[in-house]
Amino acid sequence: MTKSIDAAIIVGSDSDLDIIEQTCKILEYFDLTYSLNIASAHRTAEHLKECIEKSQKAGAKVFIAGAGMSAALPGVIAAQTVLPVIGVPIKGGSLASLDSLFSIVQMPAGAPVACVAVGKAGAVNAAVLAAQIIAVSDKSLREKLQKYKDDMAGEIVKKDLKLQKLGIRKYLQCKK
């Protein structure tokens, strides 16, 4: 029997795991279950297909794909499922992150992949976006998302109050 999951995360290489760990942390914060696989769009096509099929059978509602360099992985996943796919461009290769960013953003008509920011911010945003997609039919999750956003706003207001009280130099000294 396959374990039930909310999201399926697939990375093209184990070198992507350091970034994608942020995705896992945020999904866990929202109490969302996930699978995590390594499968290369170029080198392990059959294994990737098996990961996609297994994830769908386990009830995945969204895919998150972290990929660097040519970043074909999100597009290949999108070609094999009707579920939403979120691509996380991972920095790497001689073109830094532009190659992965452009590969994920420039999908042909009819094969959409949502693209988030490059790197850590993108990994966090992919998890938040996945939670937002799932929350369309889950009121409890919508409430958790609202609390998450309210907490972020509260932290910024606290920082501003501290800045107003201390001034820039003392504020920066306290940050060190």
Average pLDDT of the residues in 90-100: 75
CA 103 to chain centre: 16
pLDDT one-digit tens code per residue, 32-56: 999 999 999 999 999 999 999 999 9
pLDDT of residue 100: 83
Average pLDDT of the residues in 109-126: 95
Structure-model confidence comparison of residues 100 and 18, the more confident one: 18
Q: Could you tell me which CATH number the domain at 7-137 has?
A: 3.40.50.1970
pLDDT of residue 138: 96
Place of tokens 């799932």: 134
Mean pLDDT, the chain, rounded, equals: 93
pLDDT of residue 27: 98
Under the banding of pLDDT at 50, 70 and 90, the label for residue 93 is: low
Q: Which of 28, 32, 25 is CA-nearest to residue 5?
A: 32
67: which DSSP letter? E
Report helix, strand or coil for 6: coil
pLDDT of residue 94: 64
Q: Residue 1 pLDDT > 50, yes or no? A: no
Q: What percent of the chain has pLDDT over 90?
A: 84
Whether the CB-CB separation of 100 and 68 falls below 8 Å is answered with yes
| Domain spans of the chain, in order of start | 7-137, 139-176
pLDDT one-digit tens code per residue, 121-169: 999 999 999 999 999 999 999 999 999 999 999 999 999 999 999 999 9
pLDDT of residue 101: 85
